[in-house]
Amino acid sequence: MAAVAGAVSQPQMIRRLLEGIIAHDRSAGRHHLAVRSLAVSLAEYGDVSTLTRHRVERTALLHDVGKLSVPDRILDKPSDLTDDEYAFVQQHCLIGERLLSKLGGFEAEARLVRSHHERWDGDGYPDGLAGTDIPLPSRIVHIADAIDVMLQPHRYKDDCRVEDVPLELSHCAASQFDPDWSRRAVRWIAADGLDALGDLAA
């Protein structure tokens, strides 16, 4: 894989990985693009550095690349996952890290992909990181990922309206999400993001 990466540019490699994700699961391809849009908009609203915004964008585009290794029978299972199946799905963070680590120039994103399911209170995975031990781009992508999951229909949760998203972000601040960035996300939605959320929910 590293030899292939050296033959193409990094944007081309990201495109190829996204094509693989879409071929594996078209809805996952839509999700990656939606998370990228949300994460970049939130990062820009939060006035992060250019380097951080760049890493947020690439991490958002690649955050679930490890799910390429998860069988369709698990991803598409109509009933609740067993404990073993859920534990297997959780491995996608580590698998994504390993995959990206083999590609030239994606070392930073590999670490950030590993951490995108960590929680502010330390109850996330795979490492149980807490607070600011979680890299900032991972914290931003985690919020964007959760927003898109809130707005899409899933068998395991009730439907969430666009206007409910700020309430959910506030409710989960300092537990699931970075409290400072939860507040920024709520302000961003109030100032600029409500229409964008409506488009995602449509």
Q: What is the pLDDT of residues 133-165, one digit of tens each?
A: 999 999 999 999 999 999 887 655 566 788 899
pTM surpassing 0.75?
Answer: yes
What is the model's pLDDT at position 178? 98
DSSP codes joined into one string, 30-66 = HHHHHHHHHHHHHHHHTT--HHHHHHHHHHHHHTTGG
Which stretches of the chain score pLDDT less than 70? Answer: 1-7, 154-159, 193-194, 196, 198, 200-202
- Record the tokens describing residue 23, joined without a space: 């071929």
pLDDT at 5: 46
- Separation between Cα atoms, residue 168 and residue 14, nearest integer Å: 31
Residue 118 near residue 142 (C-beta atoms within 8 A)? yes
**Structural domains of the chain in order of their starting residue, each with its CATH number:** 2-201 (1.10.3210.10)
